Amino acid sequence: MPRIALCQLNSGDDPEENLKTVRSGVEAAAAAGARVVVFPEATMARFGRPLAPVAQQLDGPWATAVAAIASEHDVLVIAGMFTPADNGRVRNTLLITGLGQHLGYDKIHLYDAFGFAESDTVAPGAEVVTFSAEGTVFGVATCYDLRFPELFRRLADDGADVVTVPASWGAGAGKREQWEVLVRARALDSGCWVAACGQADPAVTGVEVNPKAPTGIGYSLVADGFGRVEAQAGAGVEMLVVDVDPEVAGKARTATGALANRRLS
């Protein structure tokens, strides 16, 4: 039964300073017995600043440093970073490193919504990613991916029992409600545990950010395949530690028939 830590934080402009936050988060999570440690989208550098100058490959210094931290504490780390793409754009990448893994997931669905155009500076990914850790198959998705149930059902079809969703959710009227409903709905759609880790709300933590950028609202949460909330954070900087039982995913799928009874794809 994997123990997962969600490290809700505010990342800043400087990747090196954010790396220090990753280290302290991993140290605290490992001390609490977690083997999988999840950080938000844009942990490497927050939205609202130029992203191309900070983008690095998965074998570059930032990802290599995170891998070393994961190895030191014998955990797997999932953290949002940016990798180079074409025409001056970047890819919004989740680094997955530790426990014998070192790979990335490039965000498939870009946040061209609510007046923001992520595709202006970010190129979309195309590959669905799963991996195994602690005897459990995990899937990954990023922030706006949460609005697309077909991705979560595909991850379940590929064997995932847990899907981690790093995010930097945009603020606004009704956005917290949408976040909470979507996490629980995707858990029900797929029968998976959904562990969604967001950036903390800068308005609560006193951090100045670009008001036009999606820089987080907090309220990270973990829901099981029945849509039940196992744990939830508040708006500020916080760590959640949750034990997730993969057998619950199978029980949820059997009970709801949400995958077996599909007629449309």
Tens of pLDDT along 219-250? 999 999 999 999 999 999 999 999 999 999 99
197 is catalytic: no
Catalytic residue among 7, 118, 143, 192: 143
Structure letter (DSSP) for residue 42: T
* CA dist., res. 155 & res. 136, Å (int): 13
Nearest residue to 239 via CA among 23, 83, 8: 8
Beta strands, E only, 110-217? 112-113, 116-117, 122-123, 130-133, 136-140, 162-167, 193-198
Annotated catalytic residue, options 7, 16, 17, 41: 41
Q: How confident is the model at residue 211 (pLDDT cuts 50, 70, 90)?
A: confident
Question: Which of 41-45, 84-88, 209-213 shows the lowest mean pLDDT across its residues?
Answer: 209-213
Label residues 57-82 b or e (16+ Cβ within 10 Å = b): ebeeebbeebbebbeebebbbbbbbb
Contact 62, 53 (CB under 8 A): no
Q: Please give the Cα distance from 227 to 153 (Å, whole number).
A: 15
Q: How far apart are CA 142 and CA 41, in angstroms?
A: 7
Q: Which of 17, 20, 27, 107 is catalytic?
A: 107
- Please name which of 92, 12, 37 lies closest in space to residue 220, comparing C-alpha atoms: 37
Rounded CA gap, 34 and 55, in Å?
Answer: 28
127 is catalytic: no
Q: What is the pLDDT of residues 31-51, one digit of tens each?
A: 999 999 999 999 999 999 999
Active site residue 192: no
Say whether pLDDT at 79 is over 80.
Answer: yes
Looking at the predicted structure, is the pLDDT value of residue 265 above 80? no
Question: Per-residue pLDDT tens for 180-199?
Answer: 999 999 999 999 999 999 99
pLDDT band at 143, cuts 50/70/90? Answer: very high
